[in-house]
Homo-oligomer: A and B are copies of this chain.
């Protein structure tokens, strides 16, 4: 181990109490982004981050104003030839209600046993402070040997409405080799994780019409098509008996899982029992030939998110509805394109819609999947770092959801994101008694020290 690495790790171990004190400072600021009464606290939290960055010697540190809450930027670009990491984070938190369920006040960080309780402790002030303290450990032990850019926003919990515009106007400022996003989490205290892929989304509304008005099912039942049945038939036809999606060409661009990735995914402790417990479903269901984890992370899926037709109140009404509607969305994997999926769905409907109906399809949302190459320098450096800190290989995960900021960074900056974090499944995110497991957090800071050292090469 190099001297600097050793020294930085030593610094991190020696200064745990100071790191904790620093974390408590930012946790004490109620930076609830959705609450108009907290505008001053939002600015205070942004300033706190700026102060930290300045104390680390970062340059161009500024809380950039937006229509709502500032985005903090700072950089250290002194290492010519070394990689540049964009570090994403957010300093805003969810509201704390219901307050009466908190054992200690949400903005009075309180330690009980190994845990520190406060709103934002895990999501994600704790993670932001972990990156700050890892960089501090390096700065105080001979200096940072890679380049870093920080983009710490204050609107993540309200959907990052200002981020698009900020990124578009600062493409050069934000240019990097990849993005480190520590807003993800771990499966268990001994199970560090890297999420390297997220699915994309294509979301549609399908409306089916037959008669121009609701009809009496006695007088007209048997004469015209029932739009609810026609819709059901169209929806039913979208999967085959193997749970595969039947839209023409849907799988053409789907990137297959490599044997190495499949092997990685089998390591995850999310087996069938896990998903049965989580969902309460009587049995699992999905595409033949893939495990649950593979189906969620690495295979495209099609869901009906909503469906409405006719009379849905209590009791009975003998009506043939004039119209039926379904919200239909697909989770996409590399290299599917939501625009292609739109065409595929239209083609399917043209081929399968019966003569007795009209239909209308509206595209509501679309984003591609995001994936980091496992050979990406960030994935490699982070993987080795987590292994060094935990003494075991991290789990390499593909997740089923979309993280808007990852998509924005991919689409607007062309940068891959590597997601990690040191929160645990029982951290009560967005709920009362949010907490951070401190032994895990300290390990995380050390892992990040390794990460920056690994990246420097």
Contact surface of A with B, Cβ cutoff 8 Å: 198-199, 201, 203, 205, 210-213, 215-226, 228-229, 231-233, 235-239, 275, 278-287, 292, 295-296, 299, 301, 303-313, 315-321, 324-327, 329, 331, 354-358, 364-365, 399-402
Contacts and interface: CB of A to CB of B under 8 A. Distances in A.
Contacts of A226: 303-304
Given A236-B237, A275-B223, A305 B331 contact: no
Contacts of A198: 218
Contacts of A312: 306-308, 325, 327
- The 7 A-B residue pairs with the shortest CB-CB distance, nearest first, are A218-B401, A212-B280, A222-B295, A236-B236, A285-B356, A228-B304, A225-B285
Contact of A307 (B203, B278, B283, B310): B310
B210 A281 contact: yes
A211 B281 contact: yes
A304 B232 contact: yes
17 contacts: A217-B329, A218-B402, A220-B278, A221-B303, A222-B286, A222-B295, A222-B331, A223-B284, A224-B286, A225-B283, A225-B285, A229-B235, A229-B239, A281-B356, A305-B316, A307-B324, A308-B308
Nearest to A292: B223
A301 B232 contact: no
Nearest to A365: B316
Contact of A327 (B222, B281, B316): B316
Contacts of A399: 218-219
Most chain B CB within a 10 A radius of its CB, from A201, A212, A220, A236: A220
Contacts of A212: 279-281
Contacts of A283: 225, 354-356
Contact of A321 (B278, B305, B365): B305
Most chain B CB within a 10 A radius of its CB, from A224, A236, A310, A364: A224
Given A229-B303, A283-B355, A221 B317 contact: no
B307 A320 contact: no
Given A228-B307, A310-B307, A364 B235 contact: no
Given A222-B286, A275-B224, A319 B305 contact: yes
Contacts of A215: 279
A272 to B, nearest CB: 9
Given A218-B331, A305-B311, A317-B306, A224 B326 contact: no
Nearest to A216: B401
Nearest to A210: B281
A279 B365 contact: no
Contacts of A199: 218, 221
A282 B358 contact: yes
Contacts of A280: 211-213
Contacts of A306: 228, 309-313, 317, 319, 321
A305 B278 CA distance: 34
A296 B233 contact: no
Contacts of A284: 223-224, 356
Given A220-B296, A222-B296, 19 more contacts: A198-B218, A210-B281, A213-B280, A219-B296, A222-B400, A224-B284, A224-B286, A232-B232, A232-B304, A235-B236, A236-B236, A304-B310, A305-B311, A305-B317, A305-B321, A306-B311, A307-B310, A307-B312, A311-B327
Contacts of A279: 210-212, 215, 220, 223-224
Most chain B CB within a 10 A radius of its CB, from A213, A221, A287, A309: A221
A224 B316 contact: no
A334 B201 CA distance: 51
A284 B222 CA distance: 9
